[in-house]
Structure formats: structure tokens, C-alpha cells
Amino acid sequence: MELIQETPHLSAYLGADEAVDHDHPRVRDTAARLATSAADSYDYARRAFEFVRDTVTHSQDAGDLRVTWRASGVLEQGTGICHAKAHALAALLRAEGIPAALCYQRFDVVHGLVAVRFRGAWHRQDPRGNKPGVDAQFSLDGERLAFTPDLKSNEMDYPVLYAAPHPAVLAALKAAPDRPYLWRHLPTAL
């Protein structure tokens, strides 16, 4: 699949916004801690991915009812659904000058991913968190995502790379008082 930048300006994929708030002290501190032991930008990106995937719980998997959406809040609370975890990973990558985009898949609801730019190309990553049957890995040599859409079931990969969270996704996250409410209001398509 060819990934399509929403905007041609790579600088847009380095910026901060209300959800990908890489200028927040919590994000900056976490990024600095991860960068200390990284050999290079690729190693940092892999470490940031693994940190979000393995340290920030997926709230559904953990039975956590809280809804987080801002990267700094995700890192503070240590939980979030796929979209929130994607915001956190994008913020950590951007904090170290690595272009990161938000991208999506459609299953029963829209699923959130991150694309990272290395070697002149975008590479999708899924930091949602592993569990039995899910083995997402950081990879620039072929995707190792949590889920593969079944096109016969109307599931799909969206090719657009967004600089900021999709408005429908962000609105659902911000309006949700808890995760059960969020599940009922997450968009089923973009």
C-alpha cells in the first residue's frame, strides 16, 4: 500500500498540537531518558516504540476505564487505547526530531497507528500492546502490526498519513467520560 502524506511538508510531522504535545515536560523528560541509552535515531525510535507498547497498558486489555488522549496524559496515567498510545509514540518520536504521522485502519471501529519516517520512506508501527494472538514489533523491513484487515469483511487500511489526530477520533476521545462510553462512540469509518 502506498502511504499518502496529508500535507507535503515534512515539518508538519514534527509539530506539536493539543494531542501530540511533545513540548510538554513529561514527554520531554521521557524522551530524554529513552535517548540517553540509544545508539542512534533508529535505536531511539525502537526504544520509544517498545516503551509505549510495553509500559503503557492498553486500557481495554487492562480493564482500565480511564480515557486518555493527550500524549502527556497517556504517559502520566500509563494507560490508553490504541489512539492514545499512538499519540504518545508520535510525541516521543517528534520530541527527538523524528517525523511521525498518525494513520488508521478500519475494523469494527477505527484503529490507530503511527508511521515513522526513515530511509526516505514511511513505516507503519502499532504500539497498541501485545497479548496472546497479537505480536506487533518495530520494523522498517515489512510491517509487523497487531492486526491485518480482512478486505472481504470491509476492513481496511487507510493510506493517509495525518500530521494531527483525525478530528472524528479526537472528538470521540475528548468527549468520553469512560472507556465503555468511548467504545460506543468511536468512529466506525473515517
Distance of alpha carbon 144 from its chain centroid, rounded? 14
Would residue 21 count as lying in a domain? yes
Q: Would you state the pLDDT for residue 109? A: 97
Whether the Cβ atoms of residue 1 and residue 52 lie closer than 8 Å to each other? no
Query: Residue 52 class from Cβ within 10 Å (0-12 exposed, 13-18 middle, 19+ buried)?
Result: buried
- For 137, the domain range is 4-185
Please say if the pLDDT value at position 70 is more than 90. Answer: yes
The residue type of 72 is S
Give the chain's domain count: 1
Would residue 190 count as lying in a domain? no
Would residue 10 count as lying in a domain? yes
Q: Would you state the pLDDT for residue 1? A: 87
Closest CA to 165 of 97, 45, 71: 71
Over the chain, what is the mean pLDDT?
97
Q: Is 0.95 surpassed by the pTM of this model?
A: yes
Please say if the pLDDT value at position 114 is more than 90. Answer: yes
Whether the Cβ atoms of residue 104 and residue 110 lie closer than 8 Å to each other? yes
Distance of alpha carbon 10 from its chain centroid, rounded? 18
Would residue 46 count as lying in a domain? yes
What CATH number does residue 52 fall under? 3.10.620.30
